[in-house]
């Protein structure tokens, strides 16, 4: 990618002053409007931390307990604020500890700028203490990365980093800065925000003839189905999307990252796609005549077997990233561009319709699923608590206004299926990478990104132990997050697969846990644990009403499974209700 920045006139100018590279980094962050940094200091990034001491009134730094916690917190911040998350780490193990979060952010299109310290330039390639080739390590999991060894480059490269991270299809950027560049003095003449880079086109040109072709297909459709992903949220196109589906009466189903772009109770919201999605949108994907995909990438958990996926339908694919179109599912009409621009164009050309008979098929499927699955999950008759009823009780107390941050596993699928959302940017989860340990640090970042909202982290007894040290971050900063552990005393999702597909050979999924309430108390965080239904509502209310962080552990059924389920290797219409 060409590094030349074409806009030469600075938006933020100063008289030439001599400053260090470290101060230039911080001036760049202030100029970009950054207010929060998640990080962990170390030898190779110490000059930047020394300079940060004088910027404490302008930049709030959150000291995490592990660099992976820092980058997941940056992700949570980006997802709830709609801004770019910023993360600091030192060289060597500090930088390599970011890799999981970078991969997670890359596949989930989360804008991040990560700054890593590096050894002195003259030591590069000598296997110096805590030297790692972070550029080559992170190339596959970043949208762009760059190593700075001369302080004069810092303002330009920082501007480019923020522009690339947040423009087009967002993603993580890593800037590695050698220690000599951090302490080097140079003449600083101001900061020029970047808005164009030669050879980099973040948004493809909208082809209006394709928009017209798409509109013609939608107008002719008798059984249209919209499937939407996080692209609607990233494009800030929630209102445009709502206007589009309402004009033509289009049923709309979501991926787990698209969840909350459309209110859960909207009459055209027909539910969740994919392996543990709702019965109707999965089965009827193979009955629709026009499939309209918006800001989603047709991943395998949504499509099941591709040779059995929507073969009867004409496919329209709206996406800002041309590489996603035709990658998995062949599009009859590709509509490249930012959906905030393309959706109004499409809406202006479609005809008002209602599709009442087609919508009834979705409601009939919902009734079938309710009888077979939902009734027992939300209103069980046994004495054993279910994850679904916990989420249902939480809904009643939050009224759909909370931000829900989920880890990865059965609890994630149950929360996505049953949590209620009234507003966008309310569902924060690890989608494409499926990173256990994501939720606790991501919830910290989510709270900093949306300080006026209730944040509830829903985590399994396996995932919580992967990043449990971030309770220290919550303690030190008194981060008001609510931690809800759904403890089934198993690595639940793996156990479910072993039960269904491996003859119940439970191989190393029986996990013992500490006394989570005692652990929380050790971090000066209030908490409680319950096992009986009679205590559920009051325990949840106590958690939500508590002034400060709170941990609630709820013991649920050990061998409860998540249904419906599309078994691996099957088509979406082969979804099992039991």
Any idea which residues carry the catalytic annotation?
Answer: 67, 129-130, 179, 493
DSSP 44: G
Q: Write phi, then psi, for 366 (nearest 5 degrees).
A: -65, -40
List residues bridging with 86 in a β-sheet.
113
CA distance 573 to 108: 26
Neighbours of 362 (CB within 10 A): 23
Q: Which helix (H) or strand (E) holds 374?
A: none
Token pair for residue 110?
């989360």
Alpha carbon separation from 189 to 13, 136, 213, 315 (Å, rounded): 7, 32, 51, 52
CA distance 180 to 436: 37
In contact, 459 and 439? CB cutoff 8 Å: yes
In contact, 237 and 300? CB cutoff 8 Å: no
CA distance 32 to 28: 6
Q: Which helix (H) or strand (E) holds 487?
A: strand 482-487
Q: Say which residue the tokens 């985590």 belong to.
A: 459
Torsion angle of the four alpha carbons 77, 81, 84, 88, in this order, in degrees rounded to the nearest 10: -30
CA distance 88 to 71: 9
- Helices assigned H by DSSP within 259-403: 279-285, 300-303, 339-349, 356-369, 375-378, 387-398
DSSP 81: H
- Helices assigned H by DSSP within 82-184: 93-96, 99-107, 134-138, 154-166, 179-183
Token pair for residue 357?
């008979």
CA distance 482 to 477: 14
Q: Say which residue the tokens 């256990």 belong to.
A: 436
Give the three-state DSSP class for 82: coil
CA distance 80 to 425: 5
Q: b/e map of 132-159 (b: 16 or more CB within 10 Å)?
A: bebbebbeebbbbbbbbbebebbbbbbb
Torsion angle of the four alpha carbons 72, 388, 552, 436, in this order, in degrees rounded to the nearest 10: -30
CA-based nearest residue to 113, from 97, 102, 100:
102
The CA R_g of the chain, rounded to the nearest whole Å, is 24
């Amino acid at each position: 990618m060409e590094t030349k920045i074409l806009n030469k006139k600075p938006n933020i100018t100063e008289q030439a002053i001599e400053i260090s590279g470290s101060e230039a980094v911080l001036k760049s962050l202030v100029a970009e409007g950054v207010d929060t940094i998640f990080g962990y200091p170390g030898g190779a990034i110490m000059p930047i931390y020394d300079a940060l001491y004088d910027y404490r009134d302008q930049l709030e730094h959150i000291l995490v307990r592990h660099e992976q916690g820092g980058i997941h917190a940056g992700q949570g911040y980006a997802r709830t604020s709609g801004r770019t998350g910023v993360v600091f780490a030192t060289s060597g193990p500090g930088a390599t500890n970011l890799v999981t979060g970078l991969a997670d952010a890359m596949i989930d299109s989360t804008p991040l700028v990560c700054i890593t310290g590096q050894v002195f330039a003259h030591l590069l390639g000598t296997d110096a203490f805590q030297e790692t080739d972070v550029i080559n390590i992170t190339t596959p999991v970043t949208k762009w990365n760059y190593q700075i060894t001369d302080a004069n480059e810092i303002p330009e490269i920082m501007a480019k980093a923020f522009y690339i991270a947040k423009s087009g299809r967002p993603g993580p950027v890593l800037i590695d800065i050698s220690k000599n560049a951090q302490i080097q003095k140079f003449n600083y003449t101001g900061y020029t925000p970047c808005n164009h880079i030669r050879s980099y086109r973040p948004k493809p040109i909208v082809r209006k003839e394709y928009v017209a072709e798409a509109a013609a297909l939608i107008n002719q459709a008798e059984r249209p189905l919209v499937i939407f992903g996080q692209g609607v949220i990233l494009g800030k196109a929630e209102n445009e999307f709502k206007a589009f589906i309402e004009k033509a009466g289009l049923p709309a189903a979501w991926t787990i990252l698209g969840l909350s772009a459309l209110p859960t109770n909207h009459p055209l919201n027909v539910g969740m796609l994919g392996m543990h999605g709702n019965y109707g949108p999965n089965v009827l994907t193979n009955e629709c005549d026009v499939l309209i995909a918006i800001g989603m990438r047709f991943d395998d958990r949504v499509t099941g077997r591709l040779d059995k996926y929507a073969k009867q339908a004409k496919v329209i694919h709206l996406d800002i990233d041309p590489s996603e179109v035709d990658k998995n599912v062949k599009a009859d009409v590709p509509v490249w561009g930012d959906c905030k621009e393309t959706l109004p164009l499409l809406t202006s050309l479609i005809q008002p319709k209602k599709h009442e008979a087609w919508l009834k098929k979705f409601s009939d499927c919902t009734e079938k699923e309710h009888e077979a699955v939902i009734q027992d999950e939300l209103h069980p008759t046994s004495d054993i608590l279910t994850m679904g009823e916990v989420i249902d009780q939480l809904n009643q107390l939050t009224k759909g206004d909370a931000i829900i941050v989920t880890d990865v596993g059965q609890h994630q699928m149950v929360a996505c299926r049953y949590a209620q959302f009234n507003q966008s940017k309310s569902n924060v989860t690890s989608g494409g990478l499926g990173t256990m340990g994501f939720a606790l640090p991501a919830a910290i970042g989510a709270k900093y990104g949306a300080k006026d909202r209730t944040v509830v982290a829903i985590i399994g007894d396996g995932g919580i132990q992967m990043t449990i040290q971030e309770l220290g971050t919550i303690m030190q900063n008194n981060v008001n997050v609510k931690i809800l552990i759904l403890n089934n005393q198993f690595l639940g999702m793996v156990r479910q697969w072993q039960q269904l597909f491996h003859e119940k050979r439970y191989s190393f999924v029986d996990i013992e846990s500490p006394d989570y309430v005692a652990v929380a108390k050790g971090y000066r965080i209030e908490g409680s644990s319950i096992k009986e239904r009679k205590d559920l509502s009051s325990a949840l209310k106590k958690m939500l009403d508590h002034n400060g962080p709170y941990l609630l552990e709820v013991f649920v059924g050990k061998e409860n499974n998540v249904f419906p389920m599309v078994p691996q290797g099957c088509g979406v219409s082969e979804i099992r209700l039991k």
